[in-house]
Amino acid sequence: MAKPTSASHESWLPEANLTSADFPLTHLPYGAFEHEGRQRLCVAIGAHLLDLYACANSSLLPPSLIEACQAPFLNPLMALGHRSWTLLRETLTSLLHVDAARDRRQGAEAALHSIVGTALVKPALVPNYTDFYASLHHATRVGRIFRPEQPLLPNYKYVPIGYHGRASSIIPSGMPVIRPIGQSRPSNPNEKPNFHATRSLDYELELALYIGQGNLLGTPISITEADSHLFGISLLNDWSARDIQSWEYQPLGPFLGKNFATTISPWITPMAALEPFRVPATPRPKDDPEPLRYLHSEADRQRGNFNVKLEVLLSTSTMRENRLGPYLLSESNLGDLYWTPAQLITHHTSNGCNLQIGDILATGTISGPAEASGGCLLELTRNGTEPRLLPTGETRAFLADGDEIIFRGSCEAPSQPRIGLGECRAMILPARG
């Protein structure tokens, strides 16, 4: 059995103290769940969730936080700002610490629910969704497939590339994804395009950056202030129909090949929990241009990224029928991104665009430098030309109906308890009609 955490990080919940725990006392990610027909906010601790609505009703929280913690979504809490986020985190840490007063511990115990068997739902209202393209390794490998003579376009190393996605089709982990139907490129240029269910359904391993504090229209966020606008992160799967995407994306970019579904994890890891896992921004090769002045700060260069290890796993119908565990497709790390989270926020608002509380900025596919660390099947199979062989003898160029994709993430650092981001998963269902 894994060894427990140090006494300073110890909870009275034993499973929260194991080094293998995703949700130790130092994590406390936010989520939401269904309880007696209502949606309630919670934090995860060990194998349980702590009901914030119940805590608010039991006078376990400061009066200034009660209304926000009784809300069904995190947006009112986000709106209160950093002081309130810190106050709530300190209150919950004290409440769940091994040295908590007996009466407060008893109150917290009454507000606990097992995560297993609980219906987790989207924890925040998302007004807007922007998807970036922040991995140089992903952009280069995709470029080699479609533009071998010029894999990267001239603007990539100057501009954090992004597009506005569809917030209405963001769905919670566990909800199935229906195979989309759309136009795709005809095999003969003189023929009409096809219109059928996608034959090139793909996932994209990403992280969601939740905006906790917005900005006024016409007022850019500077690179030195960008971090203060972040509330937390979660796993995100930007599903992609590659055949639909490749036919429609010119001249204006992604549309129906992307907006049919985006899956998010039920847990939002607060930025305070990520502080011990900060790492420098990825060093730029000597021949690369320096970021323009508005995208550069020494603090961001020194500590602007995070060591978040990421995994993609695939479970097919055949695997489940034979009681086989999911197959690991790839591993990568958030720290390999070319552009940092702060640079994404700063660039997004550089023209005066107003971010809103609850907005999601997605990183784009997170791929590492090794070919095997690609964050999507487009990379791993070279657009389907080199299918992956699975332990069952099956092959996958792209996803089949009945496949389930699972994302996992974790953070580790010396003298710090490990934290896990939980899972982001969804199964593919056949197209309708």
- Active-site entry in 138, 229, 347, 348: 138
* Distance set, CA 22 to CA 359, 374, 418, 421, 423 (Å): 25, 24, 7, 7, 10
Residue for token pair 């479609």: 146
Residues whose CB falls within 8 Å of the CB of residue 11, separated by 6 or more in sequence, listed in order: 17, 24, 25, 45, 46, 96, 97, 98
Nearest Cα neighbor of 234 from 407, 42, 72 is 407
Asked whether the beta carbons of 109 and 12 are under 8 A apart, the reply is no
- Paired with 308 in beta bridges are none
Q: Is-catalytic flag, 138?
A: yes
Nearest Cα neighbor of 364 from 159, 140, 161 is 161
- Paired with 406 in beta bridges are 313, 425
Q: How many CB atoms lie within 10 A of CB 33?
A: 20
The 8-class DSSP code of residue 354 comes to -
Structure tokens at 26: 């130092």
Q: Which residues are catalytic?
A: 138
